[in-house]
Chain A
Amino acid sequence: MADKEKRRSGVAAPEMPEGKATKSDSDREFLSQAGVGELLRGAILKMVEARSDDPIGFLADHFCHLASMSDRGAGTAGCGDGDQLSNGPLSAGAREQQHLNRALWHLRLAHHSQRSAFSNNVRVAYDLLNLTGPGKHSGETPEGQEGSCTESPTGGGGGGGGEGEGGGVRGSLYTQTLQCLCSEGGVPASTSAPLLRRLHCHDHEAVPYDVFRHGVLTCAVFSDYIRQAQRLYAEVCCPDEGPASRALCLAVLGTLKEALETSQGCDATCCVNANTKANVCLEANVKAIRYLKASAKISPHKLAAAMSGAQTRGPGGNMDAKEFENAAADLFITRVKVVS
């Protein structure tokens, strides 16, 4: 490491007489010319931020991404500042797809429960998606438009320079991101459709960061929720005996609903907005108490009681996995704020 540091430190005179230049001096010069120090520093910082499970894979992807960006540029080394206006061979559509893939990759890195890492990744993904298409958004952000998703554009404004930094992510890209997140999270399209209806923005709208983040977080939590619901159904129903009894399922769903209602007001999906630091402690306490109450309602003991109660009385018939999943999804979705 120390050796590398030595190499990374910049060299004063670019024109060194051949005879006098020692090997390490010319090495240092070469490295600083190629910008290796900055490149590696950036890579290490990103890696430590993301703390991916697979650091080597992360670095490989990171450098591949940089390399492909600089290939599309003038082919100069170390060009990593996202200059999107260069006339690359890729069409706008393909470029967009590439950005979408990259953004999704970033969003997958950290679980949403790891708030700061997840937030960082959301920011990176947002910036990536923001860069698609020169001049599409600059100066065009619909401020007074009806039914638009935007509040006034957050500071990402392109300043009319047409450098590709719009006032927000394009609505269609945003919707696509959410769709991919849900499907990757194992949620079938039909289940996620009502959620997406609540969250989506029109294709032409520019989505500001807050909305983007809210949407992404909601989808991430929703995927987890649906997976848990699927697992819950698997517990309730014995696969050999066919679909589970309706009464049992309703009882389980009822308990779930109660728990969610108790936690209402905290809105499990809302992020702690960094701007509202006032009374954070008090709020946090109240929230914590509500969450504890909610989790008590869904404790195994309560659930078992509800289930045994349901077995003796309640509607007959069976409920299959799909219906259970949809009902559980419904409980969640009714709590999601509609993006307007």
Chain B
Amino acid sequence: MSRFLSSVDEYLGDSHVLFYLSDAVTQLLEHKEEYSQFGVSRYFAEYFSSVKNSNHVLFREFNYITATPHNRSSFIRVFWRCYRQIGKSGELLSVLEFRSLLQLLCPDFPVEMVQSTGRIVLMDDAVDCLMSFSDFIYAFQLQLYYREFLDSVLTIYQDLLAGKSPNTVIVPTSTSVELLPPVATEENDKERQQHDGVEASTLAECVDALCDRFKHSHPSRSSMTEILAEKDKICFYSFLMSLSKHGGVNQDIGALPSMAELLIDPEMDQELDKLVAQIAVSPGSNSSGSAVIGLKEQQRKASPRRNIHHRRKMEVESDGSTEETDSSEN
């Protein structure tokens, strides 16, 4: 009902419709020969249908993917649908391997974001370690969806660590003053402090103040308060890791199922069983590996340059068997 009370600008702004219209026109102009043979109405119909069905982010550039919350959650969901079988196989992958997977879906996906995700999962420790699909994807979701918010919180955290008094009404107690090291600190002290973190309550107050004035989206205050109430001291990456695993936060974003259901994919299981049966005829081949590679091959074929109908066909094929379950989830 409130959409009637908001002004036209607000209504249009909230849904980012003008952004999508603008992008649609840009895409049309870039590929006019391909798209206009089916008629302009048909083109717009397909474009907006794919936006509605969250298929629109496939193979698009990073800027487009991060442009709207809907695009971000769609991309997370696409990543999940394409690669959940990796989770099932139990493989652990490194940051660079995950980045390669991401680049298959988004050619210019930056390594920095994948590295940030790695830091969340591995608690800023030994970033060469391997990660499970489940850990990675929830951390990735948090990092991608709330990117701006996390950057702000990191700044706040670093300020708190450095002993700066934040811009909120916080009366430093004697204990916290004691714990904060003097400016000229030794290496050991700094490292110890980084592991210990900051006062959770202080961080909670700062985060709350940030939410008051923050323009972009952020995780719900209740979930953050809940997490910060659990411990006395908390370090940045453990805070993020707890956030990424929080059921409420996951639900709010709405892209992924709960952890228990993350790897459930009966249709794809059947498809893979068939493939494995065929491949297993030739002995010595790594069946699960080639099945996954088979999937990757399918996705690599489709590119935005191809005729729009071919592209639709490829999209349907690459996640065709999962389409049934997912349309109801959507």
Contacts and interface: CB of A to CB of B under 8 A. Distances in A.
**A and B assemble together:** yes
Interface of A: 1, 3-4, 7, 27, 30-31, 34-36, 39-40, 43-44, 47-48, 51, 53-57, 59-60, 63-64, 66-67, 70-71, 75-80, 111, 114, 117
B90 interface: no
B48 A63 contact: yes
B45 A56 contact: no
Contacts of A114: 1, 4
A101 to B, nearest CB: 16
A74 to B, nearest CB: 10
B277 interface: no
A1 B18 contact: yes
6 A-B pairs with least C-beta separation: A63-B45, A60-B48, A67-B41, A77-B39, A67-B42, A55-B15
Contacts of B4: 51, 114, 117
A77 B48 contact: no
A63 B41 contact: yes
B11 A4 contact: no
Interface in B18-36: 18, 20-22, 25, 28-29, 32, 36
Contacts of B11: 48, 51, 55
Nearest to B11: A51
B36 A34 contact: yes
Interface of B: 1, 3-4, 8, 11-12, 15, 17-18, 20-22, 25, 28-29, 32, 36, 39-42, 44-45, 47-49, 51-52, 70
A77 B70 CA distance: 29
B41 A56 contact: no
Given A40-B21, A48-B11, A76 B51 contact: no
Contacts of A63: 41-42, 44-45, 47-48
Contacts of B25: 4, 7, 31, 36, 40
Given A4-B21, A36-B28, A114-B4, 5 more contacts: A36-B40, A55-B15, A59-B17, A67-B41, A78-B39
A31 B28 CA distance: 9
A53 B14 CA distance: 11
A56 B44 CA distance: 11
Contact of B8 (A27, A48, A53): A48
B29 A27 contact: yes
Contacts of A31: 25, 29
Nearest to B12: A48
B316 to A, nearest CB: 17
A56 B15 contact: yes
Given A40-B21, A48-B12, A59-B17, A34 B40 contact: yes
Contacts of A1: 18, 22
Contacts of A7: 25, 29
A80 B41 contact: yes
23 contacts: A1-B18, A30-B36, A31-B25, A31-B29, A35-B40, A40-B21, A44-B12, A47-B17, A51-B3, A53-B3, A54-B52, A59-B20, A60-B51, A63-B41, A63-B47, A63-B48, A64-B45, A66-B41, A67-B42, A70-B39, A77-B40, A78-B40, A117-B4
A60 B39 contact: no
A31 to B, nearest CB: 7
In this complex, which of A7, A55, A76, A111 has the most chain B Cβ atoms within 10 angstroms of its Cβ?
A55
Contact of A56 (B28, B36, B52): B52
A92 B47 CA distance: 30
Given A70-B39, A76-B39, A56 B21 contact: no
A267 B12 CA distance: 37
A66 B3 CA distance: 25
A48 B8 CA distance: 7
Nearest to A80: B41
Given A34-B40, A77-B39, A78-B39, A67 B45 contact: yes
A43 B44 CA distance: 11
A78 B22 contact: no
B60 to A, nearest CB: 16
Contact of B45 (A4, A47, A54, A66): A66
A144 to B, nearest CB: 43
A53 B47 CA distance: 19
B22 A4 contact: yes
